[in-house]
A = this chain, B = another copy of it.
Amino acid sequence: MESLKERIVNNGRALNETVLKVDSFLNHQVDAKLMYEMGTYFKEYFKNHGITRILTIESSGIAPTVMTALQMNLPMVILKKQQSKILNGEVYQTTVHSFTKVMDYELTLSKNYISSDDKILIIDDFLANGEAALGAARLVEMAGAKVAGIGIVIEKSFQVGRKKLDEKGYDVYSLARISKLGKDLIEFID
């Protein structure tokens, strides 16, 4: 997605070899038109995958995901991050480790909003170590549903997440793939 790459180059900021700040248009301030355009790209790629429902993880994935759900005319579900474990029969839960925040959290999905017939598209803002996406996929599979695709806004291809998702056989589509970051350096794949 060329317009996204341009925004990353013009408004993103590489702090070091792993951290890319995009809080001027994606994580803190949000460009709604750009989010809508992301939805158009995700719809185009996944339109023949038989998707029945879209999942995302709070909170930076919500804006691009709701724009995708609008254009694909599908329900979306926001997976909640909870720091304390609330176990009851009404939810699926899995523990996810955040390398960025150096903490664990519980990713939670109500059993009311997924069924074993579902073909799920998972959308998230960043793919780095892949722990969040893999956690979302575990919830889908706990429900007996199928992960029909994973859509990522910005993939840091030099980290292990993409490889882990590929090895699981998931169909991963990233709008921008970054091969290298460094102080004031951003390089893309392709």
Residue positions of A touching B, CB distance < 8 A: 23-24, 27-33, 35-36, 58-60, 62-63, 66-67, 69-70, 73-78, 80, 110, 112-113
Contact = CB atoms under 8 A, between A and B. Distances in A.
The A contact surface, by secondary structure, is mixed
> Which 3 A-B residue pairs are closest in the complex by CB-CB distance?
A59-B59, A32-B69, A32-B70
B31 A75 contact: yes
20 contacts: A24-B113, A27-B78, A29-B76, A29-B77, A29-B110, A29-B113, A30-B66, A30-B75, A30-B76, A31-B75, A32-B66, A32-B69, A32-B70, A32-B75, A36-B70, A59-B62, A60-B78, A62-B66, A66-B66, A67-B70
Contacts of A23: 110
A69 B30 CA distance: 9
Contact of A28 (B30, B66, B113): B113
Given A66-B67, A67-B66, A113-B24, A59 B33 contact: no
A145 to B, nearest CB: 14
A67 B24 CA distance: 18
Contact of A59 (B31, B74, B78): B78
Contact of A35 (B58, B66, B77, B112): B66
B63 A66 contact: yes
Nearest to A112: B24
A33 B113 CA distance: 17
